[in-house]
């Protein structure tokens, strides 16, 4: 019998602009201009991530382009300043700092964007990186994941990328159900897979 998809799964939802909140869960940032427009900036470390994210943004009517950061040299995806991104930027800002909206509950589409942006395997689990420059978002994001059935643990290694780890076969199966299949070649080693998870739950 085929497994029934969750109503929160990325595969059963139509692409929406609000899905881009998943990028802000991780290292993504918004920049506001004149309070009426905003742009989205996201560092990307792998070509497959850039390709998948450009496609995902285009599916939501957003054009993004790769740029080299002048300060760090890292590749970033960057949108133009757009009016339709201003509400997203406002929702994820408090007193000028990046902040998680109080009622935020990540569905499959947002989680898929989060995994696409920076998700990876590490330290016995699957890591959803958070923004190291926005520590105030870490606890609220952990609480939001808990509310959608994904309890997480913090990384333990001192040199670890800041993030929230999904550990255990049942939790990983839940994450995979929500984010859907890997987006294409070259990313299998960075995508949730129950077969890679040690049986700890």
Instruction: Give a yes or no: residue 48 inside a domain.
Output: yes
Token pair for 125: 């689990």
Let me know how many helices (H) and strands (E) the chain has, helices first: 6, 9
Distance CA 96, CA 154 (A): 26
109-133 pLDDT tens trace? 999 999 999 999 987 789 999 999 9
The CATH number that applies at residue 171 is 3.10.28.10
Task: Output the pLDDT for position 195.
Answer: 72
Q: What is the DSSP letter of 164?
A: E
**Burial category of 159 from C-beta neighbours within 10 Å (exposed 0-12, middle 13-18, buried 19 and up):** exposed
In a domain, 6, yes or no: no
C-beta of residue 101 within 8 angstroms of C-beta of residue 136: no
Domain extent at residue 182: 15-196
Secondary structure letter of residue 5 according to DSSP: P
Pairing status of strand 29-33 against strand 75-79: unpaired
Tell whether 158 is covered by a domain: yes
Alpha helices in 13-131 (DSSP H): 21-25, 47-59, 86-91, 108-118
The answer as to whether 4 is a domain residue is no
Percent of the chain, pLDDT > 90? 65
DSSP at 60: T
Side-chain-side CA neighbours of 72 within 13 Å: the count stands at 8
Residues 144, 103 contacting (CB under 8 angstroms): no
- Indicate the number of domains in the chain: 1
Asked if residue 153 belongs to a domain, the reply is yes
Residue 58 lies in a domain: yes
What pLDDT does 3 receive?
44
What is the three-class DSSP state of 200?
Answer: coil
Q: Is residue 10 part of a domain?
A: no
Distance from the first to the final alpha carbon of the chain: 25
Mean pLDDT of 62-88: 90
Structural domain contains residue 32: yes
Share of the chain above pLDDT 70, in %: 88
Q: What confidence tens digit (pLDDT) does each residue in 83-106 have?
A: 999 999 999 999 889 999 998 999
Q: Which residue has the higher pLDDT, 149 or 13?
A: 149
């Amino acid at each position: 019998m085929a497994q029934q998809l969750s109503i929160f799964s990325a595969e059963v939802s139509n692409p929406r602009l609000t899905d881009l909140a998943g990028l802000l869960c991780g290292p993504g940032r918004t920049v506001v201009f004149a309070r009426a427009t905003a742009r989205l900036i996201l560092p990307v470390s792998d070509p497959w991530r850039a390709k998948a994210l450009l496609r995902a943004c285009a599916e939501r009517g957003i054009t993004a382009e790769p740029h080299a950061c002048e300060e760090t040299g890292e590749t970033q995806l960057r949108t133009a300043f757009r009016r339709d991104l201003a509400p997203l930027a406002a929702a994820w800002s408090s007193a000028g700092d990046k902040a998680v909206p109080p009622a935020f509950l990540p569905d499959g589409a947002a989680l898929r964007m989060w995994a696409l942006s920076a998700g990876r395997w590490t330290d016995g689990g699957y890591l959803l990186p958070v923004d190291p420059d926005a520590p105030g978002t870490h606890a609220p994001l952990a609480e939001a994941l808990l509310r959608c059935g994904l309890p997480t643990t913090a990384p333990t290694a001192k040199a670890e990328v800041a993030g929230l780890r999904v550990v255990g076969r049942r939790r990983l199966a839940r994450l995979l159900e929500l984010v859907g299949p890997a987006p294409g070649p070259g990313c299998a080693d960075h995508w949730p897979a129950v077969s890679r998870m040690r049986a700890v739950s």
